[in-house]
A and B are shown apart, each in its own frame.
Chain A
Amino acid sequence: SIQVRQKVVQVDPKEEDDFDRELRALMQESIESRRSDLRARPALNMTIPMNVSEGIRDHPRAVEGESGEETVDEEGVSGALNNKVRVKVLVKRGNKQQTKQMFIPRDSSLVQSTKQQEAAELEE
């Protein structure tokens, strides 16, 4: 095998500033267009389907049938369980709700509430 020297990443500051400006312009335009579009005030449709919440309560580590992920993480399931948390991602296919399983890092801010919930479960 050959030694490959890793390149020092050099970002041209001009390109950098320029990219920065375009990203910010895109963000602004996105936010503004949504704000001014009054039709984009949707009715709420955010209830968690019963089967999802029940599924979790009954089998906290259950494997969802339609999910493609359990062992995709190269660290393996045990590794994944150590520094990652299993969550269900709720998506809509047309009007149908579906859940997909994923592992997200334990230190993600998203996990904070989930962690608290787990702690509560352990105490039970």
Chain B
Amino acid sequence: EETGEDENYEFGKGDFTEHACRYCGAQNPACVVRCNVPSCRKWFCNSRGNTSGSHIVNHLVRAKHKEVCLHKDSPLGETILECYNCGCRNVFLLGFISAKTESVVVLLCREPCLSVNALKDMNWDLSQWCPLIDDRCFLSWLVKVPSEQEQLRARQVTAQQINKVEELWKTNPDASLEDLEKPGVDDEPQPVAFKYEDAYQYQNVFAPLIKLEADYDKMMKESQSKDNVTIRWDVGLNKKRVAYFVFPKEDNELRLVPGDELRLRYSGDAAHPTWQSVGHVIKLTAQEEVALELRASQGVPIDLNHGFSVDFVWKSTSFDRMQGAMKTFAVDETSVSGYIYHHLLGHEVELQVVRNTLPRRFGAPGLPELNASQVFAVKSVLQKPISLIQGPPGTGKTVTSAAIVYHMAKQGQGQVLVCAPSNVAVDQLAEKISSTGLKVVRLCAKSREAVSSPVEHLTLHYQVRHLDASEKSELHKLQLLKDEQGELSSSDEKKFKALKRATEREILQSADVICCTCVGAGDPRLSNFRFRQVLIDESTQATEPECLIPLVLGVKQVILVGDHCQLGPVIMCKKAARAGLAQSLFERLVLLGHKPFRLQVQYRMHPSLSEFPSNSFYEGTLQNGVTINERQSTGIDFPWPVPNRPMFFYVQMGQEEISASGTSYLNRTEAANVEKIVTTFLRSGVVPSQIGVITPYEGQRAYIVNYMSRNGSLRQQLYKEIEVASVDSFQGREKDYIILSCVRSNEHQGIGFLNDPRRLNVALTRARYGIVILGNPKVLSKQPLWNGLLTHYKERECLVEGPLNNLKQSMVQFQKPKKIYS
């Protein structure tokens, strides 16, 4: 608590002096700078106020302005900040260096001047380049931070207000913060509700959100063009051209996945004409290379390797299918049963029982025995028109789902449709269901037919090729011809397509179960199919409209499987996310009072590892289906601080920094210690495939991969085989040993991605035998859940520091957790 004078407490009157901060009104000339963009020229101060960056940095980032000028009464006088050598004025690139032997400093840009080799020979000390903007604030000795008094008297402006006023300035540069109060400025979309009058109202809410997300996705992907791409050429087994190249990705931003379309271009030179071709991503290599299978076979400039451009080809298919499903839901009475219609809209409906004869046993052939909670789940859902199954980590969600699908298929209600938002999950389910002896067809998007799948033999395109491979078959002959020549004459192509369509239909119709992604359920090849019984796995990772696609094919009985305590769907557009698009149908039904069946026995984690997640995320209900003995790492000599408790929090105090790409974070100290831990594991007899390194930041992921291969003391190949991935991409998977690098370590900026409790849950529940967490307790302990985790580790004497071969209990003081107001 602070006291302050309150004499001329007059903020918000709008009559500031010219150089007053446009956000907060602070007007000390030593504390303000002017944005030097001609159309802007506004002044901002260097205080953080209620935001994590100073006002001037907030403005520059939000307005994407990059130049500033100091005040005439400031120590340096009226000066535009620029690189002493080249005149570059981009403040995000500038920093000070000092002379080796004089008390002289200059501003120098990071790119390219700081890396000019000739400078090293001169009188300048390049090792201590000191960025102008540090911790999101201008260097406070250059632009002062207003005193506490000054800050208290200034307007208390929030990040939201800053955002809005910056948005407003784009159309009205003279607007003030007061103008925000006026109506019409804030055109947030209508938020999602719990209940809807009817499917039209439902559509009215969701259609604009899907549109927002689609527009954002389009804008973002189309802005991802890259020039000067270097290509490595290859030929695939199907004789198609494959181009390999590096296409940088960012945290949480564009993630390429197999099946995405990219356009490869060459602008031409004296010896080569202009060329371009579209292709499908068929895989992403461990070296972060993209493999693109080109559509064109002729005229590919394979004698060239440099100077190509790559664009993302955005396709609206998935969004169109969501919009289509909502429309069908509204206009077609037969799209879903009456009961499901009302239940989904949140109407009170009298409970209905599905009159199905129950099987005598609830397990299924080819699957492991079910435990009590699994049997209970199978039994209950078979007689309900709509059910939710919550599967915490390692509780046998897939086996339970497969058993349910087996019994539904045996009820003779027609084919069962099984979906999940991700291809990986669909493949896993298809495999499990197939092992019960049911006839399963895995329907893949056309663009993914070249992508290798672990259930290749179940895919429709594989079955089409191998159904009738006899010499006489016309389809087979044409297929061979096409493979040989790359293409067919137009009449043959027509015939080929018709034959293929007929064969596809035949195979699909003869299946007991069809598996595809939720979006895949909108495939035209299924348009004439009706499915009364639908199971959606990972449904908590799908948006509502996405979930609706498989439902509107005539569903009468639906089972949604998922876990709303793990990560939800990824929504890129903030506005849409804020309005609630990131809330899954599963989650909404839970909020409406629909109680999910919870699978309660986990078979993954050592009991010590499941304790905290069980208590923090599942009200302590998670039971252990594995014993300590079954999870004992026999013969593994690893320095766990407490025997029989294969976990520790390894205290790290190294600073975070923005990664080389400028788009993410890394933490060198943590990376170095990750390598030491990995090496210790490997030395003690653990093999690379047992270890997973996870971190929320792409920058750290890339840095760790690089660091281990350069500095690891064992054979390089061993480190290359270790999977280093993001928390999000590890959802649904497991490893024997998990090393979690938290990365964030700073005074002011908070912990970013780590804030989401669901992400922490996912991170903590991937390991079977042991987990090591690396992080800065001082920073993490500010967040209540992390504070709880740290306390848990400390109480169990698993909060340690020091060298790995001599770990000591850490006495580091935690910070008081801040309360979260939502």
Contact = CB atoms under 8 A, between A and B. Distances in A.
B46 to A, nearest CB: 15
A64 to B, nearest CB: 12
B661 interface: yes
Given A19-B61, A68-B75, A90-B84, A12 B159 contact: yes
Contacts, number: 231
Contacts of A2: 5-6
A35 B84 contact: no
A105 B140 CA distance: 10
A26 B679 CA distance: 37
A41 interface: yes
Contacts of A4: 2-4, 6, 152
Looking at chain A's contact residues, the main secondary structure is: mixed
Given A36-B227, A46-B119, A91 B76 contact: yes
Given A19-B159, A26-B92, A89 B106 contact: yes
A108 B130 contact: yes
A112 B99 CA distance: 11
Contacts of A20: 749, 752
Interface residues of B, number: 93
A65 interface: no
A109 B126 CA distance: 11
A69 B101 contact: no
Contacts of A46: 84-85, 106, 119, 122, 124
B731 interface: no
B757 to A, nearest CB: 11
A36 B462 CA distance: 45
B53 A19 contact: yes
A9 B54 CA distance: 13
A30 B752 contact: no
Nearest to A118: B103
Interface residues of A, number: 74
A11 B750 contact: yes
Interface string B88-114: 101011001111111111110111110
Given A23-B136, A99-B104, A15 B160 contact: yes
Contact of A40 (B30, B112, B658): B112
B6 A52 contact: no
B110 A13 contact: no
A61 to B, nearest CB: 10
A111 to B, nearest CB: 8
Nearest to B128: A109
B818 A91 contact: no
B633 interface: no
Nearest to A7: B156
B159 A113 contact: no
Interface in A17-68: 17-32, 34-36, 40-42, 44-48, 52-53, 56, 67-68
A48 B109 contact: no
B105 A21 contact: no
Given A17-B753, A40-B112, A87-B105, A24 B664 contact: yes
B658 A108 contact: no
Interface string A75-105: 0000000001111111110000001111111
Contacts of B152: 4, 6
A114 B103 contact: yes
Given A11-B51, A91-B76, A24 B663 contact: yes
B104 A56 contact: yes
Interface of B: 1-7, 30, 48-53, 57-58, 60-62, 64, 66, 73-77, 79, 82, 84-88, 90, 92-93, 96-107, 109-113, 116, 118-119, 122-125, 128, 130, 136, 141-142, 148, 152, 156, 158-160, 163, 227-228, 250-253, 574, 577-578, 658, 661-664, 749-750, 752-753, 755, 818, 821
25 contacts: A1-B3, A4-B6, A11-B52, A12-B159, A13-B752, A16-B750, A20-B749, A21-B252, A21-B253, A22-B61, A24-B664, A27-B92, A31-B111, A44-B116, A44-B119, A46-B85, A46-B119, A47-B122, A48-B99, A53-B102, A69-B76, A72-B75, A85-B103, A88-B105, A104-B141
Given A67-B75, A102-B76, 17 more contacts: A1-B3, A6-B4, A6-B152, A7-B50, A13-B750, A13-B755, A14-B574, A19-B159, A27-B92, A28-B661, A30-B92, A44-B85, A52-B104, A53-B102, A56-B103, A91-B76, A100-B76
**6 A-B pairs with the lowest CB-CB distances in the bound complex, closest first:** A27-B662, A28-B662, A15-B159, A69-B75, A42-B86, A6-B2
Interface of A: 1-32, 34-36, 40-42, 44-48, 52-53, 56, 67-69, 72, 84-92, 99-105, 108-114, 117
